[in-house]
Amino acid sequence: MKTAKVEYLGDLQTRATHIRSGQQIITDAPPDNNGKGSAFSPTDLASTSLASCMLTVMGIAANTHKINITGTYADVVKKMKDAPRRIGTIEVDVFMPERSYTSKERTILENAAKTCPVLRSLHPDLEEVIRFHWTEPNEH
In order, the DSSP letters of 48-105 are: HHHHHHHHHHHHHHHHHHT---TT-EEEEEEEEETTTTEEEEEEEEEE--SS---HHH
Q: What is the pLDDT of residues 78-116, one digit of tens each?
A: 999 998 999 999 999 999 999 999 999 999 999 999 999
CA 103/CA 80 separation, integer angstroms:
35
Both 60 and 113 in one domain: the answer is: yes
Residue 59 pLDDT greater than 90, yes or no: yes
**pLDDT category of residue 137 using cuts at 50, 70 and 90:** confident
**pLDDT category of residue 3 using cuts at 50, 70 and 90:** very high
Both 30 and 87 in one domain: the answer is: no
The counts of H helices and E strands in the chain are 3, 6
- Residue-number span of the structural domain to which 111 is assigned: 42-140
CATH number for the domain including 113? 3.30.300.20
Both 31 and 84 in one domain: the answer is: no
Q: Is the dihedral of CA 51, 54, 60, 63 positive or negative?
A: negative
pTM summary value: 0.92
Q: What is the pLDDT of residues 33-46, one digit of tens each?
A: 999 999 999 999 99
What's the domain count of the chain?
2
Both 49 and 31 in one domain: the answer is: no
Both 33 and 55 in one domain: the answer is: no
Pairing of strands 86-95, 127-133: parallel
Residue 140 pLDDT greater than 90, yes or no: no
β-bridge mates for residue 28, sequence order: 13
